[in-house]
């Protein structure tokens, strides 16, 4: 793949993965939004005082791949065994993903993982405030 084609493909993949976070913008805060980096933290609940924001996720273009970080996979490693099989080939150590190109199937599978992460995080927050 030529450099220009790779760059275009990576930017499309970056935007597709970044868009998946749109459904969660009521609960997360965008802390960095640059052309090749998008970082998000959970917004602190008013009842949880004196805590730092909790890392939520990030999408970042690196040399020849788009990296997707989901903080919940680090905090809830049990979720790794529930990942769609199609995503295993894209996994890096630590439960992060590296994509050269995304497809509709990849996007759907990542969306499914994000829903699992959301449920796990909500149950954690509920325990913290109860």
Q: What is the mean pLDDT of residues 105-117?
A: 94
Q: Where are the beta strands (DSSP E) in 1-130?
A: 28-34, 37-42, 54-62, 65-70, 91-92, 96-99
Answer whether residue 16 shows pLDDT above 60: yes
Answer whether residue 56 shows pLDDT above 90: no
Query: What is the reported pTM?
Result: 0.84
Rounded Cα–Cα distance for residues 87 and 74 (Å): 16
Element holding 57 (H helix, E strand): strand 54-62
Q: How does pLDDT run across 28-50, given as a tens digit for each residue?
A: 888 899 999 999 887 655 555 45
Q: For the chain, which residues make up each domain, given as ranges?
A: 3-129
Whether residue 66 contacts residue 99, with contact meaning beta carbons closer than 8 Å, is answered with: yes
| pLDDT of res. 120 | 87
Rounded Cα–Cα distance for residues 74 and 117 (Å): 10
Fold of 3-129: 3.90.1150
């Amino acid at each position: 793949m030529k450099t220009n084609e790779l760059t275009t493909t990576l930017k499309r993949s970056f935007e597709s993965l970044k868009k998946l976070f749109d459904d969660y913008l009521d609960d997360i805060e965008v802390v960095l939004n640059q052309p090749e980096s998008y970082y998000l933290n959970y917004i602190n609940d008013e009842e949880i005082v004196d805590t730092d924001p909790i890392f939520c996720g990030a999408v970042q273009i690196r040399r020849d791949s788009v990296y997707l970080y989901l903080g919940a996979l680090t905090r809830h490693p049990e979720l790794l065994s529930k990942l769609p099989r199609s995503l295993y080939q894209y996994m890096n150590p630590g439960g992060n993903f590296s994509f050269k190109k995304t497809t509709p199937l990849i996007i759907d599978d990542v969306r499914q993982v994000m829903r699992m992460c959301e449920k796990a995080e909500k149950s954690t927050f509920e325990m913290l405030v109860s």
